[in-house]
Structure 1
Amino acid sequence: MFQVQYPAPGDPALARKVQHLLAPLEVRLDNSWGLDHGTWSVLRHVYPNADIPVVQLSIDESKSASFHFEIGRKLAPLREDGVLILGSGNLVHNLHAYAWGRHLPDPYDWAVRFENDAKQMMVAGEYKPLIEYETLGPEALLSIPTPDHYLPMLYVLATRQERETVTFPIEGVDGGSISMLTVQVG
């Protein structure tokens, strides 16, 4: 993955605006890392010429899901400026249960149940259970063994404005335990 090049330009002015919106939280600017695979692996299909500016935020897994949701709320005004807020991850992401090298005709029942329940909550605007996902039972715990792929969705949901719809333009589960669900707000 380190060999893939996606030379999208940055946007220092937007990065400073993000710093301002998230204050007093310390947000450090860092040009040394490049883009994470969760960013370029999606953008290279949507913007193959890498001709859009990209500002990427790192996720602090030591913080609660509610912390991440609140960051999304603080970033919501960026949408009014035409900024696309993209949260790349997977609603269901359990590599321990993934069918490596085996073809599964159907996803695991627990993955389908959790995804369907989560979709219903998203459409209804019921975010509290999604934020407190660890209380949603065994399906949620199997679907989200680590939060790093789940938390980006909370950022996107937090930007939803009143009367905006939530849709799912891409659905499906790979290997039984990796959801490819796309959640679109607005």
Structure 2
Amino acid sequence: MQKQPVLFIGHGSPRNAIDESGFSKALKEYGRSLRFNIPKVILCVSAHWFEDRFFITQNENSDIIYDFFGFKNDLSQFKYKYKGSKFWAQKIKEVFQSEQIEYDEERGIDHGVWSVLAHLFPDADVPVVQMSMNKNFGLEEHFRFYAKLRSLRNEGVLMIGSGNIVHSFAGLRENIDAKPYDWAYVFDEKVKKCILNYSIDELIHYENIGDCAKQSVPTLEHYLPLIFSMSLKEKNDKICFIYEGFQFSSMSMRSFAITDE
């Protein structure tokens, strides 16, 4: 088995799970390429699991979480019949040795995970484990913590950070294809350069990018999965953008893969 890539996916609205768009088509297309090196398990860090400590799901069977409201009924009827993995949850936890990580034996995967996997792995034929983020850790602490998982790429673990580089409800437009705000576009482009240059210090101290940073990242939870994904990049890895664009003017859907090819 070849080393697994690392993904960062800008997941946006949960309706991206069922609505057809340029974004969903791009994920489907990239998902087909993953069939040439099928992972043993998928480990996800999503914007929608932010706790006061680190947790990891440890169950074989669980339902997806409908962690949203205000959408049409067709979304709440969507199913993604995945399997968890107690074996891989334990193996992942062991990487951190003495550091405190707790099992969650009840929790399913949230929409930041299943809305993405619905396109990347529509057959739900790869086990899924989700790990939380920690409210008591800063960005640099998260980076050092998650970096310990790098070795698992060689063992068949596909790791996905699911959030949004720009995620603001301020001025959110109803038209999904509306032109992005200038501040959103500028921040997204500057972060893109940091990703390509592997400028970790700039990504961690994103607030120094300019006034656009505060508008683009009003809260940390959607930005943090980017730090997760970048912590897993190795020296000779390359960045391949899966999708670049915005939805509703203030949500960057920028998505990329980190590969050794």
TM-score range, shorter chain: over 0.9
CA contact (8 A) 1:65 1:131 kept: yes
CA contact (8 A) 2:245 2:253 kept: yes
2:227 aligns to what?
154
Q: Deviations over 1:56-91 (max 9, x none)?
A: 001123320112211221111111112110001101
1:63 aligns to what?
137
- Ranked by relative contact order (alpha carbons within 8 Å, sequence separation 6 or more), the top structure is 2
Normalising by structure 2, we get a TM-score of 0.67
Higher helix share: 1
Gaps of 5+ in 1: none
Rounded to whole Å, the distance in 2 between the matches of 1:62 and 1:93 is 21
One-letter amino acid of the counterpart of residue 118, structure 2: R
Is 2:217 the partner of 1:144?
Answer: yes
1:32 aligns to what?
106
CA contact (8 A) 2:168 2:250 kept: yes
Q: How many residues align?
A: 185
1:17 aligns to what?
91
CA contact (8 A) 2:178 2:247 kept: no
Is 2:191 the partner of 1:115?
Answer: no
Rounded to whole Å, the distance in 2 between the matches of 1:143 and 1:37 is 21
Q: Deviations over 1:163-184 (max 9, x none)?
A: 1111212010111100000021
- Relative distance call for 1:103 and 1:21 in structure 2 (3 A) is closer
Higher strand share: 2
Q: Structure 1: which 4+ aligned runs deviate by more than 4 Å?
A: none
CA contact (8 A) 1:73 1:159 kept: yes
CA contact (8 A) 2:84 2:127 kept: yes
1:134 aligns to what?
207
CA contact (8 A) 1:69 1:154 kept: yes
1:181 aligns to what?
254
Rounded to whole Å, the distance in 1 between the matches of 2:143 and 2:198 is 13
